[in-house]
Amino acid sequence: MSSASFEMTVPVLPGDIDEQDHVNNTVYLRWVQDVATAHWRALASSEAQAAIGWVVLRHEIDYKTPATLDDKIVLRTWVGKATRLTFERFTEIRRKSNRQLFSQARTLWCPIDVQTGRPTRVSAEVRERFST
């Protein structure tokens, strides 16, 4: 399964820059989470959002080239394999002006019941909404 991609644009802020004068690695991780959350909120029903939360089981991030303060960033994400208990999500982080790849990530997410905090199964309806 693979879903259509979801994109959002973010600026590089002064607080994103580290001692090497480029975007800190932890900021890329925050962007991975931000775009995943935005994608979920854009497509999931209000009922699903009220019932299901998400926790990360695994992040894999490859850094290709550093982003700097003047860059505008495009975050693109899509769901790979979606089972009842895990969603594989991919993210690309690129420069808006020329689409140069800064970073790519693969994250494995687990749905949790927001009331109990325990893993919960995702319905076929939710999986289909994020899959093509």
State the pLDDT at residue 128: 85
State the pLDDT at residue 26: 96
State the pLDDT at residue 58: 97
DSSP states along 21-41: SSB-HHHHHHHHHHHHHHHHH
* Boundaries of every domain in the chain: 6-130
Q: Which tens digit of pLDDT belongs to each residue from 69-123? A: 989 999 999 999 988 899 999 999 999 999 999 999 999 999 999 999 999 999 8
Local confidence band at 62 (pLDDT 50, 70, 90 cut-offs): very high
d(CA 79, CA 122): 14
> CA nearest 77: which of 88, 85, 69, 89?
89
d(CA 77, CA 81): 13
Q: How far is CA 29 from CA 26, 36, 49, 67, 127, in A?
A: 5, 11, 22, 13, 24
Local confidence band at 125 (pLDDT 50, 70, 90 cut-offs): confident
Amino acid at 18: D
Report the CATH architecture of 6-130.
Roll (3.10)
Q: Which tens digit of pLDDT belongs to each residue from 22-60? A: 999 999 999 999 999 999 999 999 999 999 999 999 999
State the pLDDT at residue 3: 67
Output DSSP code: residue 44: S
